[in-house]
Amino acid sequence: MNVLVIGASRGIGLELVRQHRAAHCRVVATARDEAGLARLAALGAVPLRLDVTDLAACAGFGWALDGEAFDTVWFVAGVLNGTQGEQDAPDAPTQGDFDAVMHTNVLAPMRLLPLAAQALKPGGRMALLSSKMGSIGQRSNGGSWLYRASKAAANSVLKDLSFAFAGKALCLSLHPGWVRTDMGGADADIDVATSVAGLCKVVAHARPEDHGGFFNYDGQPLAW
Ligand SMILES: NC(=O)c1ccc[n+]([C@@H]2O[C@H](COP(=O)([O-])OP(=O)(O)OC[C@H]3O[C@@H](n4cnc5c(N)ncnc54)[C@H](OP(=O)(O)O)[C@@H]3O)[C@@H](O)[C@H]2O)c1
């Protein structure tokens, strides 16, 4: 199996690389600094440098994928907040924080998933790491509202891609659980190995009727 992981320097992305390599898959994976690239190379992945917010780098990334044929593409890169930290409604984010979070979590998948789709095998799978915090239907408070808005928008992006790629790629939006990574923190519910094992199962077992859906790492469908 041939897999692409976008945003793999640490956390869930790095564990996706680790588990796919342990299963003898070929993995192309991205990081934006030397240390991240070295971690990917050490796992036997093909490392590509990419800052997902850098327009020129994204264009170059498209060229770097020329000739590739992936079974699955994972978009994992994401940020929780900008320089002001997490802010709750109704404290408006600064322009800089808004741009940083929206560029990474929304604009980057809008740019990069269409490029990656050109390097997918027919009928391949496209997985976007979203978050239950983006669900409007399940919302019970107004905390971290910039992150929530970005993941709600990311879900919208995935849904629209599912129409654009119908019959070509099976598209899924995924919640990884509350995971013990730099983003999730030490008090989170599950370890990264459990989350990624579940996510891989969800993607591997997804059926045609799951196309364009939003799923928890344990396979449960989630309300938008
Ligand atoms: N952990 C959780 O509980 C949780 C829950 C729900 C959803 N998620 C989602 O799952 C995904 C992965 O989360 P995580 O917990 O693994 O987070 P993490 O440990 O904070 O790692 C974030 C990853 O995104 C990369 N990234 C951020 N901005 C980037 C950019 N501009 N260009 C390239 N890479 C960039 C980071 O690379 P650098 O090392 O270069 O910064 C890092 O590899 C995110 O989309 C997150 O929103 C996580």
Instruction: Give mean pLDDT, residues 139-161.
Output: 97
Q: State pLDDT tens for residues 109-133.
A: 999 999 999 999 999 999 999 999 9
Residue 189 has pLDDT above 90, yes or no: yes
Atom of ligand 1 nearest to the CA of 75: 45
- Residue nearest ligand 1's atom 35 by CA: 77
Ligand 1 touching residue 209 (CB < 6 A):
no
Q: State pLDDT tens for residues 54-87.
A: 999 999 999 999 999 999 999 999 999 999 988 8
- Residue nearest ligand 1's atom 11 by CA: 76
Residue 202 has pLDDT above 90, yes or no: yes
What is the pLDDT at residue 86?
A: 86
What is the pLDDT at residue 212?
A: 98
- Residue nearest ligand 1's atom 17 by CA: 183
Ligand 1 touching residue 195 (CB < 6 A):
no
Ligand 1 touching residue 78 (CB < 6 A):
yes
SS3 letters for the chain?
Answer: CEEEEECCCCHHHHHHHHHHHHCCCEEEEEECCHHHHHHHHHCCCEEEECCCCCHHHHHHHHHHCCCCCEEEEEECCCCCCCCCCCCCCCCCCCHHHHHHHHHHHHHHHHHHHHHHHCCEEEEEEEEEECCHHHCCCCCCCCCCHHHHHHHHHHHHHHHHHHHHCCCCEEEEEEECCCECCCCCCCCCCECHHHHHHHHHHHHHHCCHHHCCEEEECCCCECCC
Ligand 1 touching residue 124 (CB < 6 A):
no
- Residue nearest ligand 1's atom 10 by CA: 129
Q: Average per-residue pLDDT in the chain?
A: 97
Atom of ligand 1 nearest to the CA of 105: 45
Pocket test residue of 32, 83, 146 for ligand 1, highest count of atoms within 8 A of CB? 32
Q: State pLDDT tens for residues 1-53.
A: 999 999 999 999 999 999 999 999 999 999 999 999 999 999 999 999 999 99
Q: State pLDDT tens for residues 79-114.
A: 999 999 888 999 999 999 999 999 999 999 999 999
Instruction: Give mean pLDDT, residues 190-215.
Output: 98
Give the CA angle between residues 130, 152, 121 to the nearest 5°: 45
